[in-house]
């Protein structure tokens, strides 16, 4: 499954980036809560905390499993960021 999902991954390491207001709305997003190791494999790099991938028109975000994460504010930021991409925010934002 991981190999199939690699093609359209979008990676982030972007805690300082302000997500535009128009991409902060409600959404229903399929989410894979997983380990940093799986995120690194699927999203493409050890520095990546989360990503949104697309396969056959289906989008899914990968984020850390919050049950094993102490920095919960970072969790919220990661999910807000990837939800922004789900809602159409370009992956070509500032780095
Ligand atoms: Zn991004």
CA of 14 to the centre of ligand 1 (A): 7
> Is 95 inside any structural domain?
no
CA of 52 to the centre of ligand 1 (A): 9
> Contact at 8 Å (CB) between 79 and 12?
no
Dihedrals φ, ψ of 35, to 5°? -90, 160
Neighbours of ion ligand 1 (CB under 5 A): 12
pLDDT (tens digit, 9 = 90+) per residue, 8-36?
A: 344 545 556 789 999 999 999 999 999 99
In the chain, the number of structural domains is: 1
* Mean local confidence (pLDDT), 64-92: 95
> Is 39 inside any structural domain?
yes
Can you give the residue range of the structural domain that contains 51? Answer: 2-86
CA of 81 to the centre of ligand 1 (A): 6
pLDDT at 79 over 90: yes
Angle at 74 between CA 18 and CA 11, to 5 degrees: 65
CA of 38 to the centre of ligand 1 (A): 18
pTM of the full structure = 0.80
> Is 92 inside any structural domain?
no
> Contact at 8 Å (CB) between 6 and 42?
yes
> Is 93 inside any structural domain?
no
């Amino acid at each position: 499954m991981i190999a199939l999902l690699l093609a359209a991954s979008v990676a982030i390491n972007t805690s300082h980036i302000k997500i535009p207001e128009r991409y902060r709305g409600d959404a229903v997003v399929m989410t894979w809560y997983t380990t940093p190791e799986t995120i690194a494999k699927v999203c493409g790099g050890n520095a990546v905390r989360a990503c949104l991938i697309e396969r056959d028109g289906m989008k899914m975000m990968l984020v850390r499993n919050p049950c094993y994460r102490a920095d919960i504010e970072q969790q919220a930021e990661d999910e807000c960021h990837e939800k922004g991409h789900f809602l159409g925010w370009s992956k070509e934002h500032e780095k």
